Chain A
Amino acid sequence: MKIIVFIDQIVSTQVKLQGVDYFDPSKVNEDDLVINPTSKNAIEGALKLKDSLEATVTAVCVRGLKPIKALREAIAMGCTDAIEIADEILYTEDPLLLAKIYVDVLEKFGDFDLVFLGVEEQSTSSYAVGAMLAEKLGLPSVLYAEEMETIDSGFQVGHVLEGGRNIVTIPKKALISVSDSQYFTPRYTSMRGILTAKRAEIPSWTAADLGLSTGVAGKEAASLQQVSLTNIVIERESYIINEGEPEEMVDKLLAKLKEDEVKLGA
């Protein structure tokens, strides 16, 4: 069984960057780049099946600023191998284009069974790539998965639903986009994994390798066009207490609430 996981790289949410500068990759320190947390959930989903189904798990990252770093970490977590898609011409802000690139990656990859992706990413998420890829491939799919179990015909998957959880079954060849749940909580890298990752050779595919040109997968081919990106300024004034002993902080809060005539409790 062959499993593919698409992962992407974001600037760690621990990093405080000012305003829309955040979105300017040239202003980003490479050390601050991490695997998108939800992509890690996706890796976990694949790895949980690796042993029980004797599967190989290949992590793929399209562009990214330092994709090799992310891909090595994926291998350190337990992925069998990884592929970097490195080409400046590829535009990744348009979910349909990204899905198209994935289709070509999968084609070049050859046989595959399961595709895992994340959903709910922390960056300029489109929330659309998983569904678009599934539709393009005509693959049965589940989005927002929170748990899964192997059954004879494939998998039984539970996904997020308003008011509860929805349970469906899907065949073995399918696409699953996973959300942040206990089942998909990512494992840590192991010492052995880190050593394997260090030595791993990560092939790099270019747009030409995938038969893609700017006209097909570059910015000019995008149907979703960004008109502007501006900082959101929230007018609300917050009173945030960020120093002092805990007791002082609580006293400060209570004093301020009193001053503002906010009554705690009924």
Chain B
Amino acid sequence: MKILVYGQIRDNLLEENLLGILNKLSEVFQGSEIYAAILGSQINNEWTGELGKHGVKKVYTVEAPELENYLSRPYVKSMLEIIEKAEPTLVMAAGTVFGEDLIPRLAVHHGVSCAQRVVNITLEGEDILFHTPVRDDQAMKITKIEGVIKFATSRTGAFFENENPSGSAPEIEKVEISFDADDMVVKHVEVRKAERTVNLKDAKLIVAGGRGVGGKDNFQILKDLAELLGGEIGATRACTDVHWIEETYEIGQTGQSVSPDIYIAAGISGAPQHLSGVKAKTFIAINTDEGAPILKYADYGIIGDLLVILPLLKKKLE
């Protein structure tokens, strides 16, 4: 069996979730051949080398100025061509914003549905089973897809990379694709990168706030507590979107990944995109809503107003 992985490049590096996918695939589909596709305006040997190390036998590359930034049409066009060459049974991408854009489109061209945000893949006889959590992780849905080629993305953070990869340099096949004006109707303007002025990676304690913080000024309450405890603050995208707090503090799939000893989540509902960036030893949640999904992940929780609870907590700890 042949598997094709979309080798997304992010900030000039292989998307980190890819390595986890490769590890999972080689575990589940022993004896199968894993291929990868890298598209871009300039392809770096280090990327292909790293893919090889993680078990990829062959890398298809498409180099063209039109592929400088991800845009659905030129990327779909290129991937369809590569799929035709590689004849895979399964096509996978990391469930990043672009991966989740690409996979369903490829599936449409093959007349099938796809499974997005998969957290596990298992085999049952001839069938490949895709496990996806649904409804704020309340239930696990297992699906299978009909069709010659199956398409899926992984949920970010779901799989772990092999720490001791031992693969060798992959075969490289360059693929030429030409693009026309019709492929380029959606135009890339710019990436507004979030400034990363504060590194939260090594923080031992984080007091993170969500929409429940309610406003810019209230973040001071979190800052005061964090300062007292010698920790950092963090936030959800909902807060950085409205500029209550600098973007650097965003935690999650599109923000920073953190692994503190203690994570205090105040006014955060617990969206998977947020939680995928948090690995904490001890998780404390403060939320007014007893049904908030975050409470399932919390070791400790208080059902209450963070604007009352956090200052009290600070007072008692002083």
Residues of A within 8 A of B (CB): 13-14, 16, 19-20, 22-23, 94-97, 99, 120, 122-128, 131-132, 134-136, 140-144, 146, 156, 158-171, 180-182, 222-232, 234, 236-243, 246-247, 249-251, 253-254, 256-257, 262, 264-266
Complex Cα–Cα for A215 and B184 (A)? 36
Q: Is the interface of A mostly helix, strand, loop or mixed?
A: mixed
Q: How many residues of B contact A (CB 8 A)?
A: 89
Taking a contact as CB atoms closer than 8 A, the residue among A158, A228, A250 that contacts B312 in the complex is A250
CB within 8 Å: A-B pair count? 251
A164 touches B194 (CB 8 A): yes
* B230 proximity list for chain A (CB < 8 A): 265-266
Given that A141-B186, A264-B229 are contacting pairs, would A13 and B291 also be in contact in the complex, using a CB cutoff of 8 Å? yes
Complex Cα–Cα for A169 and B69 (A)? 13
Complex Cα–Cα for A22 and B298 (A)? 22
* B109 proximity list for chain A (CB < 8 A): 135
A253 touches B302 (CB 8 A): yes
B104 touches A165 (CB 8 A): no
B112 touches A223 (CB 8 A): yes
* A124 proximity list for chain B (CB < 8 A): 134-135, 141
> Is B49 positioned at the interface, with any CB of A under 8 Å from its CB?
no
Complex Cα–Cα for A163 and B105 (A)? 24
Binds A, one of B54-62, B93-101, B166-174: B93-101
Q: How far is the CB of B271 from chain A (nearest CB, A)?
A: 8
Q: How far is the CB of B246 from chain A (nearest CB, A)?
A: 13
Q: Mark B239-256, 1 if CB is under 8 A from A, else 0.
A: 001100001000001100
A239 touches B139 (CB 8 A): no
Given that A143-B100, A161-B97, A181-B241 are contacting pairs, would A168 and B71 also be in contact in the complex, using a CB cutoff of 8 Å? yes
* B254 proximity list for chain A (CB < 8 A): 160-164
* A136 proximity list for chain B (CB < 8 A): 108
Binds A, one of B40-48, B82-90, B144-152, B215-223: B144-152
A95 touches B300 (CB 8 A): no
Taking a contact as CB atoms closer than 8 A, the residue among B140, B142, B295 that contacts A238 in the complex is B295
* A19 proximity list for chain B (CB < 8 A): 138-139
Q: How far is the CB of A15 from chain B (nearest CB, A)?
A: 8
